Amino acid sequence: MDDIQEKLRVLLDYWIEHNREHEEEFLEWAGKVDPLSNDLAQQLREASTKMAAASAELMKAKQVLPENKERY
């Protein structure tokens, strides 16, 4: 179980950071397309918001992940 917990801890960190990168990219593109289509820009902003919400859930998952404990 310790191996699974450690692997999951690493994955959660990776997923959270990866989501943040996508959030920023969505917002960047929303700014680029806003002059062309406000509707499209708004959808990208919404995607960024939802990505942030997913990251918040992943952070909660990380908080409830049991700590590794040495077995004696």
Closest CA to 30 of 18, 19, 40: 40
Spell out the SS3 assignment of 5-31: HHHHHHHHHHHHHHHHHHHHHHHHHHH
Check residue 47 and give its pLDDT.
98
**Average confidence score pLDDT of the chain:** 92
Q: Which pTM value belongs to this model?
A: 0.83
Listed by start position, the domains of the chain span 2-62
Between CA 52 and CA 1 the distance in angstroms is: 29
Q: Summarize pLDDT for 7-60 with one digit per residue, the tens.
A: 999 999 999 999 999 999 999 999 999 999 999 999 999 999 999 999 999 999
Cα–Cα distance, 21 to 65 (Å, whole number):
24
pLDDT over 50 at 72, yes or no: no
